[in-house]
Amino acid sequence: MTSIPITVKARNPKLSWKLDYERFWFGGCPLKSNWMNALSTTFPHAERFFIESVKHYQDQITDPVLTEQIKGFIGQEAAHRKEHDRFNIHLIEHGYPVSWADKRVESLFNWVRKNPDTEVKLALTCALEHFTTILCTEVLKTPIFNEPMKGEYKRLWCWHCLEEIEHKTVAFDVYRAIGGSYRVRLTEFIHASVILWLILLSIMLSYQRHDKRLLNLRDWWVVLTWGFIWPGLLIRLAPNYFRYFKKDYHPSHMHDQNLIDTWRNKLGFTGQD
């Protein structure tokens, strides 16, 4: 069932935040930093939801490779949840309204959980995993998107990105294994596209307001040009975003073993795999 028999293994990134706090940690840019802070705020509840969605079908999977990858997926997502909880504590300590944002994210996923259709919840997981995969691939392969991060910030996000790329096929392969439909997959992809942007934007705006930079035109100009002109992050993501609409789409179509090997080595994980 799995197209890439890649090792999916949970790791300890060995992060220490004792002396590494910097408010505008993404290249000194407030809005870019707060966009990433908003992403981090969503992760603990999102990762928990992903684990639940995949774990629901774990006992139905007979492919031994996929069975092992599911175990790795669960371990990796649990580790991501733990480390982003730690990261978010630093935001709380510096006054960011994380508790308010966290409750919004929790309420959203609790609302989704009320849907008794487990295929829908797994399809939503596949959609959100696709978003993280295409973002993480771009972050790791293009230096301009990872070099502005320094110290523990860079290690956290690059470790997370590496593992997202490693397990990008798992939820999708489980979805195929249970006979998930194209219609449901596409419907939840559209739902996720709208909801994700709305929740991230609302959190980012609240963090900008905390920094007293909500109406800072320079911040917005920098981010708009960064996203749409140069280096054009969102423009770069568009082709892989729209790949998901293809009926024969599979995450393995974006596989880049060299990228995985390069970042395993950079992060010191080579001897552990």
DSSP 161-184: HHHHHHTTTHHHHHHHHTT--HHH
* CA–CA distance, 218 with 30 (Å, rounded to integer): 10
Residue 1 has pLDDT above 50, yes or no: no
The two three-digit tokens of residue 21, written as one number? 């706090």
- Length reported for the chain: 273
Under a CB-based contact definition with an 8 Å cutoff, are residues 140 and 165 in contact? Answer: yes
Residue 130's domain comprises 30-272
User: Is the model's pLDDT at 270 over the cut of 90?
Assistant: no
Q: How does pLDDT run across 147-188, given as a tens digit for each residue?
A: 999 889 999 999 999 999 999 999 999 999 999 999 999 999
Mean pLDDT in residue range 235-244: 97
**Structure letter (DSSP) for residue 22:** -
Alpha-carbon distances, residue 37 vs 40, 69, 96 (angstroms) = 5, 29, 10
pLDDT at 6: 79
pLDDT band at 20 (very low <50, low <70, confident <90, very high): low
Supply the mean pLDDT for the chain: 94
Specify the pLDDT at position 4: 58
State mean pLDDT over 243-247. 97
pLDDT of residue 2: 46
The set of residues, in sequence order, having a beta carbon less than 8 Å from that of 229 and lying 6+ positions away, is none
Counted domains in the chain: 1
Whether pLDDT at 236 is above 60 = yes
Sequence-distant contacts of 251-258: CB under 8 A, at least 24 apart: 251/129, 251/130, 251/133, 251/168, 251/169, 251/172, 252/3, 252/4, 252/169, 254/133, 254/134, 254/137, 254/168, 255/3, 255/4, 256/137, 256/141, 256/165, 257/6
Which pLDDT value is given to residue 224?
95
Residue type, 213: R
Q: How many Cβ atoms sit within 10 Å of the Cβ of residue 197?
A: 11
Distances (CA, A) of 225 to 131, 190, 199, 222, 257: 21, 25, 22, 5, 31
The answer to whether residue 60 is domain-embedded is yes
Q: What is the pLDDT of residue 3?
A: 52
CATH code assigned at 134: 1.10.620
Q: Is residue 9 part of a domain?
A: no
The answer as to whether 16 is a domain residue is no
Among 6-20, 23-37, 82-96, 230-244, the minimum mean pLDDT is found in 6-20
Indicate whether 266 belongs to any domain.
yes
According to the model, what pLDDT value does residue 16 have? 83
**Distance from C-alpha of 6 to C-alpha of 32, rounded to nearest angstrom:** 32
Is residue 72 one of the residues assigned to a domain?
yes
For position 5, what pLDDT does the model report?
Answer: 66
Average pLDDT for 114-136 = 98
**Is 4 part of a structural domain of the chain?**
no
DSSP-based three-state secondary structure for 5: coil
CB neighbour list of residue 43: distance below 8 Å, 6 or more residues apart: 80, 81, 84
Does a structural domain hold residue 6?
no
Tell whether the model's pLDDT for residue 118 goes beyond 70.
yes
Measured in whole angstroms, how far is the alpha carbon of residue 270 from the centre of its chain? 22
Q: What percent of the chain has pLDDT over 70?
A: 96
In a domain, 155, yes or no: yes
